[in-house]
Chains A and B, each alone.
Chain A
Amino acid sequence: MKTIVFDSGPIISLALNDLLWILPDLKKYYNGNFVIPDSVKAEVVDNPLRTRKFAFEAIRVEGMITQNVLEISRDDNVKSQSQDLLTLANSSFEAHGAPMQLVHTAEMEAIVLARELHADAVVIDERTSRMLIEAPDNLKNLLEKRLQTKIKVNTSNLERFRSLLSSVKVIRSAELVSIAYSLGLLDKYLARNGEVPIGKKKDLIESVLWALKLNGCAISKKNIDQLVKWLLK
């Protein structure tokens, strides 16, 4: 069965922008499973339900779970492999002789789950996890620039980390929303008497991508402009 795994970031981005409703339609179109590890569920439902600030968003995410739009995976094997990968990731870069703890165990769980399920993609909005998988050299440069400190790379750990995740492909909530736009799912925001004013479509996709960015999706202004251009072609 085709699968896409979700990290917490994209769910948070979609929930904060009241865009969770696109998921059922996207899933239908994808004709596969949307899966989250239970650690992600804890972060997007259980924890915020204990607060007032994001409880309403959490209820809406919970609704996606009860409707089986998002399925929860509880897999001890994934948990144990995530710990191993976490150790590799958090011992790959050193500053001042100390290993830098860059990522959290729950971030690893979504990635490992994607690998174990042979998922088409894992949806991650978070910059550091994405860089670790796709461009660890960039991460080293970022750390050196920001910390103004020489970063020592444990090459064997990093290589092992990368080889274990070489099959994992990453997309972001920005791509999901772009697909929703391509499928005409967002037209309802514009439709007037059944007609969609063509001139407004650029405003629509631009504003939705900016809304995601403003709620934490790691996407640059330049990248938004590019996506808008490609989508309007």
Chain B
Amino acid sequence: MYEKVCIDLTDVLNNVLKGLRHEAKIDFIPLSDHCIHCASVFQDPASLQVAVVVYAIGKIHQRIDSESQRLKLEKQLISLFEKCVDHLKNNNEKGFLETMRKAFDVIRVVDKNISMFVDEVLDKAKLTKGIKIFRHGISVRKTAEILGISSWDLMSYLGKTQILEEENLREDPKSRFLYAKKIFDVL
């Protein structure tokens, strides 16, 4: 694993742990976005998994009505994320990914009442993270491949964002338009 990835993920997970232990008020969504920088550059599965899991936690955590269920989830995630931090310390990528997978499982079965919502959130998390990766300059298909989603999903989601308005593509639309007319012989 790249050193920068290890450092960034350790930092993100330590902040997530602070939030789960109620040591500090932590907004999980920006933490998830932080992973996207590494995910775009290094396209490593670890950054992507953390980005998706942390986003999902941010969305799900407050939706759990039962106090005991929430405490149970927090306890399980704290234990898993502590292991993840250890794996990062020992540069054990395989162990890290396995433990993160367990975190996915824990989130999936957290509460029967929100299980549909969890699936939706995990799907949405992938799309949301996909848009961020695309925003960093990676192509649609490459982004879809990295996240294991379809280009169809990503394209239809991408179109509803403002990303392309933010970019000054500095294209020459007139030449493109005239060229299209020329090859179709449209006067």
A binding-site residues for B, Cβ under 8 Å: 2, 4, 8-9, 12-13, 16, 26, 29-30, 43, 47-48, 51, 53-54, 57, 95-96, 98, 100-104, 106-107, 120-121, 125-131, 134-135, 138-139, 142-143, 146-147, 149, 169-172, 175-176, 178-179, 182-183, 213-221, 223, 226-227, 230
Residue of A nearest to B141 (CB): A104
Q: Are A182 and B139 interface neighbours, CB within 8 A?
A: no
Does B40 touch A at the CB level, under 8 Å?
Answer: yes
Among listed B16-24, B45-53, B71-79, B177-185, interface-contacting one: B177-185
Q: Are A9 and B155 interface neighbours, CB within 8 A?
A: yes
CB distance from B147 to the nearest CB of A (A): 12
Per-position contact with A for B140-181: 1 when CB-CB < 8 Å, else 0?
111001000011111110111000110101110110110111
Q: Are A126 and B140 interface neighbours, CB within 8 A?
A: yes
Q: Are A96 and B136 interface neighbours, CB within 8 A?
A: no
Does B43 touch A at the CB level, under 8 Å?
Answer: yes
Q: B-side binding surface: helix, strand, loop or mixed?
A: helix
Interface centre among B41, B158, B170 (most CB of A within 10 A): B41
A214–B160 alpha-carbon span in the complex (Å)? 5
Q: Are B154 and A216 interface neighbours, CB within 8 A?
A: yes
Q: Are B171 and A182 interface neighbours, CB within 8 A?
A: no
Which residues on A sit within 8 Å (CB–CB) of B151?
A: 8-9, 12, 43
Which residues on A sit within 8 Å (CB–CB) of B137?
A: 100, 102, 128, 139, 142-143, 146-147
Does B61 touch A at the CB level, under 8 Å?
Answer: no
A202–B154 alpha-carbon span in the complex (Å)? 29
Q: Are A16 and B164 interface neighbours, CB within 8 A?
A: no
Which residues on B sit within 8 Å (CB–CB) of A135?
A: 170-171
User: Considering the complex of A and B, which 10 residue pairs feature the smallest CB-CB distances, nearest first?
Assistant: A216-B155, A175-B180, A128-B139, A104-B141, A214-B159, A120-B183, A143-B137, A104-B142, A216-B159, A54-B152
